[in-house]
Amino acid sequence: MHMSTNTLTVELGERSYPIYIGEAIHHQAEFYRRHITGRQVMVVTNETIAPLYLDETLSALSGYDVATIILPDGEQYKTLETLNKVFTGLLEHRFTRKATLVALGGGVIGDITGFAAASYQRGIPFIQVPTTLLSQVDSSVGGKTGVNHALGKNMIGAFYQPLAVLADTATLNTLDERQLAAGIAEVIKYGLIVDSAFFSWLEQNMDRLLSREPAALAHAIEVSCRCKADVVAADERESSQRALLNFGHTFGHAIETGMGYGAWLHGEAVAAGMSMAANLSHRMGWITEDDLQRCCSLIERAGLPIQPPAEISPDRFLQLMAVDKKVLDGRLRLVLLKGIGQSVVTDDFDHQSLLETLESYQ
């Protein structure tokens, strides 16, 4: 069987790195060997992923001096304490600053491992093998690594780039439907904020994505990563351009917080949040009724919610959004649409229209 691999290069000067996208690539030795320079490799994964993919990864790494750390699965373990377990493992194996970390898992594993790589002996290389659609399209680009603090999510971390990313579409076969849809929410986001042609492609190929057709998944991952890389490129750090990536997230975070973390998946909350942002954009007269319909219809076809939960009142919404970090100097900024594939970060929207949007779901 011939399997093709797409390679997308994230351009960051001397820190540029490739994202390899393809079917069954995470157990092919060559993708690791190209990048690993030392002998020592530590695979960091979790209890859910290890039984599924660890053996294949280890066989691809045969010949290296390999150790493994299996962390508990879940956002609640994305802490300094868990991070310290990675350091302990590295030190117990006497791993030097020439060791390479391999992050095998979803966003939490990628964030912890990336930060461990950034901090161990002040920085060692790492390779990301994201195993969820969300982490393949989101964590592969941008260099954000870190852990949560009891008083805030993602409050501790570093900007740190991997040597390479291996996005293997085969690992998506074990994702449950809700997790797959949550990843598709972020994919739709890229179409909406910067790429109308990709949005049209998604309208025509949603069924192929939902049936996990490898070529369709690979295309969606590649375009999403390229969109994100383009947005991030101008400014590797937080900037107003980068804020476009938060489309749907201010409403979405309000849903996640309002319902208690974990009740809604992040991607589900973002999906409803994107519909709400499109609704407000339409009320402002910035997008047509037809665009609004296309937006909601595509989100719905992915099996995602297009409405917030009725139990969050408009007042509570406003309260929750006001503490979101996108509020600068007391003015609520939102990412809104000026068309499909066109977005802006703005505080220049009508407060009455925002209220009407919120009330329309009651």
Complex with its own copies: residue 33 or 149, whichever CB lies closer: 149
Q: Is 277 exposed, middle or buried (0-12, 13-18, 19+ CB in 10 A)?
A: buried
Q: Could you say which of 13, 62, 152, 176 contacts its own copies (CB under 8 A)?
A: 152
The nearer residue to its own copies, 33 or 325, going by C-beta atoms, is: 325
Q: Which of 219, 226, 242, 282 is catalytic?
A: 242
In the annotation, is 242 catalytic?
A: yes
Ligand-binding annotation for 174, yes or no, is: yes
Cα–Cα dist 26/31, whole Å: 8
| Least Å from the CB of residue 243 to its own copies | 14
Kindly give the pairing relationship between strand 126-130 and strand 100-105: parallel
Give the strands of the sheet with 65-71, arranged side by side: 5-10, 17-22, 164-168, 126-130, 100-105, 40-46, 65-71
Phi and psi torsions of 51, nearest 5°: -65, -25
Stretch that binds its own copies, among 48-56, 151-159, 167-175, 180-188 (CB under 8 A): 151-159
8 A C-beta contact, residue 176 and residue 133? no
The reply, when asked if residue 108 is annotated as ligand binding, is yes
Nearest to 248 by CA among 329, 187, 311, 314: 187
Q: Would residue 246 show up in a list of annotated catalytic residues for this protein?
A: yes
Shortest Å, Cβ 124 to its own copies: 11
Task: Identify the bridge partners of residue 159 per DSSP, sorted by sequence position.
Answer: 144
Residue indicated by tokens 């598709």? 184
What's the Cα-to-Cα distance from 55 to each of 49, 50, 61, 62, 113, rounded to whole Å? 10, 8, 10, 11, 19
Q: Is 144 in the site for its own copies (CB under 8 A)?
A: yes
CA distance to 136, 195, 301, 336, per residue, from 192 (Å): 18, 6, 15, 10
- The residue within the footprint of its own copies, chosen from 55, 207, 235, 238 (CB under 8 A), is 238
The size of the chain, in residues, is 362
Q: Does 331 participate in catalysis according to the annotation?
A: no
Using CB under 8 A, count the residues that bind its own copies: 28
User: How many C-beta neighbours within 10 Å does residue 152 have?
Assistant: 9
One of 26, 85, 189, 249 is an active-site residue; which one?
249
Q: Which of 120, 126, 190, 349 binds its own copies (CB under 8 A)?
A: 120
Minimum distance, C-beta of residue 106 to its own copies, in the bound complex (Å): 20
Does 331 contact its own copies by CB under 8 A? Answer: no
Nearer to its own copies, 169 or 250 (CB): 250
Stretch that binds its own copies, among 64-72, 89-97, 180-188, 269-277 (CB under 8 A): 89-97
For binding to its own copies (CB under 8 A), which residues are involved?
80, 83-84, 87-88, 91-92, 96-97, 118-123, 144, 146, 149-152, 155-159, 238, 325
Tell me the binding residues for Zn(2+).
Answer: 186, 249, 266
Tell me the binding residues for NAD(+).
Answer: 73-78, 107-111, 131-132, 144, 153, 171-174
